[in-house]
Chain A
Amino acid sequence: MSVQGKRLGLVFSVLLVFVAGCGGGSGSNGTPPPAAKFSNTSLAGQYAFSMSGSELCAGLTSFFTRAGTFTADGNGNVTTGLEDINVCNGVATLRFTGGRYSIGPNGRGTLSLVNGAGTTNYSITLTTATQGLIAQTDADTTASGSIQRQNPAAFSNPAIAGGYVFDFSGVEVSGTTVNATSFVGRFNADGSGNISGAVFDSNSAGTLSGQKPFPAGAFYRVDTNGDGSTFGRGTANIAGQEYAFYVVDATRLKFTATGTSFPSAFVGDAIAQQNIAFNNTSLDGSFAFLIGGSSSTGSIATAGRFTADGAGKITNVVIDENNSGSLTLLPNGTVTGSYAMDSNQLGGGTLTWTDTKSGTFSFIFYLISPTQAVLQETDSKIVSDGTFLAQTTTPISSAALAGDYTLSWSGVGNDAEDFVGQLSLAAAGNLAGKIDVNEFGTGKQFFNVPLSGTFTVSGDGTQANTVIFNLQSTPADTFHFTAYVVNQDTIFLVGADSNRVLIGTMIRQP
């Protein structure tokens, strides 16, 4: 059975992490990328993390979020840290008093974090020494997200200045009613804790706010009690919701809802926005997208690509949608599309395409720059969010894709599930690696599962490609994905099986 729809909602924060830093580039604090091999020394310094997932609470499965930071000593020890959690019966800020980690030569490893309430356990895979993927691996808790090395020089209000685009998703609880909800928007931070130029679009189980200014009371503030300067923690009111946030660097903040937002729970990232006046010419070229969330029937995951002409027209739409096991592939009939940037030039816009056989797909987006954006679907009571990224126009071959990748996917199958691992893709398209699996429940955590499979490039590689992953030991299974290549470093995955809804990524390692 499917557990919940909103397990697929952290696409944005996972992906943009790597967009900004993939390809082995240096981190925000100037640390050079590691050599091809990883070790415990690769994980050194302060790392911010955020994730969402499912916890077992009073016999029921429940959405939860966490964001925080831990300090790795480069020798397998966690020395300190802090996190904010939003769990079924409350929110809390917890101090890490210790922990352990181990990183293997392929970047895969494990992490444990100890606080006053106990120990939480994770699998991680490093893309570089500055960032990676993370999945919680406790028996009654599964979650996935990302980690990035922090830059302590940005742990102050003045460092947080300029425009930011955000994508937060989760569940909105009103009385005894729960609705999957997504917020996307942008704001200006003035370097002193004040917010202006702030607009957002919310989608609460298909009820759309339309673009609105932030309600009164918006702010951001790095903590002054020592948690700010030590951990990069702060609090904020964004689009009327209270959040704790952790500074990665001046270009990225990681948020989790706290305070009066509870019992609602949201999580996501804000990314620095390019300071330009956006108009229709800002969206010009080929783009690949990946979004996940929920619909009336359950979980939904969608990946695809489109071309924008810089003048409001959308062409060459190709998508794969898995809506609670129902697969929709476009083009099915004839597809026409258009987009329009908002006249306020803040980067927001609307995007739509219609397939004569499959209907109309509608979206809100906010451009971070002309090459990346957050994306929220707005049709059919679908609450699905993620990102689109400029897609290479160079034909992609299997040979060009060959190399080592971090791999993660999450979603719902028989239950909530998260997978994080690493693989090597050969020029011939065959792949091999290992993956850790949390299928949510006692005895359903599996580590170092051998992975094999194939990556089959179709046509010039910029459309829908096929990936098959075979887990070769318990929980042995075959997973079918459609892959959309953003570029030779980044690949979007959407599950193509009708008995599960999965969304994932492959990110090249150096």
Chain B
Amino acid sequence: MSLKGPRVIGIAALAMALLLATASAQQSSTLVSPRAAAYDATRETICQGTILSYTEDSLLPPIGAHATVQTSSGAVDVHLGPALYLRANDFSLSQGDFVRIIGATISVQNGEIFMARIVQRGQRFIVIRSLRGSLQAIGAVRALPEARRAETTRGSAR
């Protein structure tokens, strides 16, 4: 069963997140060291542009969904975490979509990548990572407000 947008946040929340993000550069100019490929909220920027391509299973690490976004300063490889999480939240991305993404650039072995924390397409938003960089897919339904969580069908693990 698909759940409509449980992790999709409202405009106000996005606005707050945008305020927390630094200026609207497309990419961070300073990269962390090779070992420290960690999400750093103090380096958050906004990446916006048109999706050139979207794949659920990129052949290049990190494992997961990737989008190549054409920004004013060039194409950016964006990591979006598990594609199943996007699909389960009815959040789809396609070539030609205009997106705004809050995240941070980190260095990985095959280059630089923009790690998405919040993605906006049209009027819809989805939270991919916590401010600490933890993928929200690990908790999924657990992170819903209590009232919403109580409405869900029971898990299949019982």
Interface residues of A (CB under 8 A from B): 1-6, 53, 55-64, 66, 85, 87-90, 92, 94, 115, 117-118, 120, 136, 138-141, 143, 171, 173, 175-180, 204-207, 263-265, 294-299, 323-328, 357-361, 379-383, 412, 414-415, 498-501
Contacts and interface: CB of A to CB of B under 8 A. Distances in A.
B79 to A, nearest CB: 7
17 contacts: A57-B152, A60-B137, A89-B141, A92-B158, A138-B157, A141-B157, A171-B139, A171-B142, A173-B142, A176-B143, A177-B131, A263-B143, A294-B135, A324-B61, A326-B61, A326-B110, A380-B38
B143 A295 contact: no
A216 B24 CA distance: 46
Contact of B135 (A5, A117, A379, A501): A5
B20 interface: no
Contact of B84 (A1, A58, A295): A1
| Consensus secondary structure, chain A interface | strand
Given A60-B3, A325-B63, A381 B152 contact: no
Best-surrounded residue of A177, A207, A328 (most CB of chain B within 10 A): A177
Contact of A361 (B35, B108, B138): B35
A295 B82 contact: no
Contacts of B49: none
A327 B61 CA distance: 9
B85 A115 contact: no
Interface of B: 1-3, 6-7, 33-39, 56-57, 59-65, 79, 81-85, 88-89, 106, 108-110, 115, 127, 129-145, 149-150, 152-158
A2 B142 CA distance: 18
A115 B158 CA distance: 9
A360 B35 contact: yes
Give the top 4 A-B pairs by smallest Cβ distance, nearest first: A359-B35, A178-B139, A325-B61, A205-B132
Contact of A179 (B64, B109, B134, B158): B134
B63 A324 contact: yes
B64 A298 contact: yes
Best-surrounded residue of A136, A295, A500 (most CB of chain B within 10 A): A295
Contacts of A297: 37, 61-63, 79, 106, 108, 115
A57 B108 contact: no
Contacts of A323: 37, 61-62
A140 B157 CA distance: 8
B62 A298 contact: yes
Nearest to A64: B157
A380 B36 CA distance: 5
A64 B2 CA distance: 19
B36 A57 contact: no
Contact of A58 (B3, B33, B79): B3
Nearest to B83: A1
A53 B155 CA distance: 12
B140 A62 contact: yes
A175 B139 CA distance: 12
A1 B65 contact: yes
Given A1-B83, A207-B132, A382-B38, A88 B152 contact: yes
Contacts of A360: 35
Given A58-B152, A324-B63, 8 more contacts: A4-B137, A294-B135, A298-B135, A359-B33, A360-B35, A412-B63, A500-B63, A501-B63
B62 A325 contact: yes
Contacts of B131: 177
Given A1-B84, A57-B156, A178-B136, A89 B149 contact: yes
Nearest to B104: A296
B138 A296 contact: no
A257 to B, nearest CB: 12
Contacts of B142: 62-63, 88, 171, 173, 178, 263-265
Given A63-B139, A177-B131, A326-B109, A87 B63 contact: no
A206 B139 contact: no
Contacts of A207: 132
Contacts of B127: 176
Given A296-B39, A325-B63, A326-B61, A6 B132 contact: no
A294 B81 CA distance: 12
A1 B61 CA distance: 11
A143 B158 CA distance: 12
A30 to B, nearest CB: 34
B150 to A, nearest CB: 7
Contacts of A175: 143
Contact of B141 (A58, A138, A295, A324): A58
A57 B155 contact: yes
A362 to B, nearest CB: 10
A1 B158 contact: no
Contacts of A94: 158
Best-surrounded residue of B64, B79, B142, B157 (most CB of chain A within 10 A): B157
B143 A178 contact: yes
A499 B157 contact: no
Contacts of A138: 156-157
A499 B61 CA distance: 8
Nearest to A181: B134
A412 B129 CA distance: 18
A61 B64 contact: no
B143 A55 contact: no
A414 B142 CA distance: 22
Contacts of A59: 1-3, 88
A70 to B, nearest CB: 15
A116 to B, nearest CB: 9
B61 A88 contact: no
Given A58-B153, A120-B158, A177-B131, A298 B63 contact: yes
Given A61-B140, A176-B145, A206-B133, A88 B155 contact: yes
B127 to A, nearest CB: 8
